[in-house]
Amino acid sequence: MPSAETNGTNGDSAYQFYNVIDGKPRISKDHHQVIDPRTEEPLWDAPIATSKDLDDAVEAANRAFKTWKKSTTAERQKAVHDVANIILQNVEVLAEVQRRETGKSRAMSRFDVERAAWHFEYYRTVSLEDELQYEDDTVRIIATHTPIGVLGAISPWNFPMILSTVKVVSALATGNCVIIKPSPFTPYSLLKFCELAQSVLPPGVFQALNGGADLGEKMTLHPGIHHISFTGTIAVGQRILRNCAGTLKKVILELAGNNACIICDDVDLDKVVPQVTTGALFHAGQVCVASKRIYVHESLYDKFLDRLIEESKKFAIDDEDSISFGPLSNKPNYERAVGFIEDCKKNGYKIVAGGDVKPREKGFWIPPTIVAKPPENSLLVQEEQFAPIVPVMSWTDEDDVITRANLDNAGLGASVYTPDADRAQRIARQLESGTVWINQFERPHHAGFFGGWKLSGFGGEMGKQGLLHYCHTQSLQIAKT
């Protein structure tokens, strides 16, 4: 058991956590504790949901759906606005909980929680309307968008609030009910958020259950859950898709991306290097759309690399208050990152910054690490590292760099830097990924549809289009008599 002294919260009820079922917090017989990635000490008790908890939540959600699906757009927009306010009224506690479970700085964690509120606020005014598809003297055809039912939302640990709340708000805004399962590495902020949101939502509309792969697996197989929105690794996404086939659930898969960042020969390094460094190192590279492979035009490669090494030093300091860098969020991801560095060392690749795998006595730290021109077929280039280990390659031919960028596992995001607007769009439109950022580092925007291609998944969320993936489209074909 973690002591109040160890986790620094002295038994405060804000730091007690429950599964949330049918509008009420529910205690659990079994618990686990997340390891604080900075101190390696256990945090608070996190309840583990049972199969009975899942069945009860599914029953409550189906009961609530009967009424919630009939609510008007205006009623749901009021509800999402009320939830946004709940988040904003509780920023301090949600940000502190998330900071401790993820290892983020105070500034990063607070920003994430505030952004979660923006997602809700965005859908206060954005909704799907009926669309006239066709009309003649005999028939009028309307496309209307109806909720699917009970959503099972399964989320990862890197942005526990933002990545989960986008699923919750998309479901609520379209008239679905949602049961969310946070990652067992970061259960606290989501459980607390769900508990707080009960004060403004009908029971059963939004519920949260904590558990690991086994609970996620039961959700994907449960006949009372009608659709799944999953964010995580490619391998788990593939398994989820297979599991959902049995009940033919509709599935959204937001999976990993081995994103390329292309730097053209006409860029201003003063402007571009800070952007690219942030794109690669923000949250220690644990961002699905982070720049995971940097391709720099050969004519400015050496200058770029020197500047990148200098800029990366700003991320190497530990400032728990402000910096957008921190330790890796959990031991498995730290060990995976060490594996990438060891592979680079074993193969004699040129590590030009960082590379120390145990820079401090406590915490899952990996310093910003830059690897110059590893071969294209190296592990670091071919696989997503999800850590601050950045391979920097060079290019001379535009078609060639586009081909190298378009790996099968690179379907989520990409970035292009050039002041030439035509060139930027020409390259961007040939990149096979769901989002391309031009002259800015990669950050999803709540108003822009976000989804992966190829091995990075399908379906999507955010923006008005994202709501379509949380609905059935029904065709009303009305005869004119």
* Nearest-angstrom CA–CA distance, 50 and 44: 19
Dist. CA 305–CA 374, nearest whole Å: 13
C-alpha distance from residue 191 to each of 15, 28, 98, 365, 468 (Å): 10, 13, 11, 27, 27
In whole angstroms, give the CA distance from residue 215 to residue 119. Answer: 27
Look-up of token digits 């009975």 = 52
Q: Are 179 and 150 in contact (CB under 8 A)?
A: yes
Cβ-based nearer residue to ligand NAD, 216 or 367: 216
The residue among 155 and 165 lying less far from ligand NAD, judged by its C-beta, is 155
- Shortest Cβ distance from residue 151 to ligand NAD (Å)? 14
For residue 61, what are the contacts with CB-CB under 8 A and spacing of at least 6? 150, 177, 178, 179, 204, 205, 207, 224
Nearest to ligand NAD of 236, 272 (CB atom): 236
Residues forming a β-bridge with 372: 350, 392
Complex with ligand NAD: residue 255 or 468, whichever CB lies closer: 255
| Whole-angstrom distance, CA of residue 477 vs CA of residue 472 | 16
Report the distance separating Cα 18 and Cα 284, nearest Å. Answer: 30
Neighbouring CB atoms inside 10 A of 426's CB total 14
The answer to whether the CB of 59 falls within 8 A of the CB of 170 is: no
Give the binding site for ligand NAD (CB under 6 A).
154-158, 163, 181, 183-184, 212-213, 216-217, 220, 231-233, 236, 239-240, 254-257, 288, 384, 386, 412, 452
Report, in Å, the least distance between residue 172 CB and ligand NAD: 19
Smallest separation (angstroms) from ligand NAD to the CB of 241:
10
Q: How far is the CB of 451 from ligand NAD (least distance, A)?
A: 8
- Neighbour count for residue 357 (Cβ, 10 Å): 18
Determine the 3-state secondary structure of 383 from DSSP.
coil
C-alpha–C-alpha distance, residues 102 and 328, integer Å: 8
Nearer to ligand NAD, 163 or 208 (CB): 163
Report whether 295 contacts 403 (CB < 8 A).
no
Three-state secondary-structure class, residue 137? coil
Nearer Cβ to ligand NAD (65/159): 159
Pick from 57, 461, 417, 101: nearest CA to 254: 461
Minimum Å distance from CB 337 to ligand NAD? 12
Contact 122, 185 (CB under 8 A): no
Residue 57 DSSP SS3:
helix
- Supply angle C-alpha 423, 425, 431, rounded to 5: 110
Residue 212 CB, shortest distance to ligand NAD, in Å, is 5
Closest CB to ligand NAD among 214 and 302?
A: 214
CB of 124 to ligand NAD, least distance (A): 23
* Residues sharing a CB contact under 8 Å with residue 240, sequence separation 6 or more, in sequence order: 154, 216, 220, 228, 230, 251, 253
CB 384, min distance to ligand NAD, A: 6
- List the catalytic residues: 254, 288
CB 370 within 8 A of CB 219: no
Smaller CB distance to ligand NAD: residue 336 or 373? 336
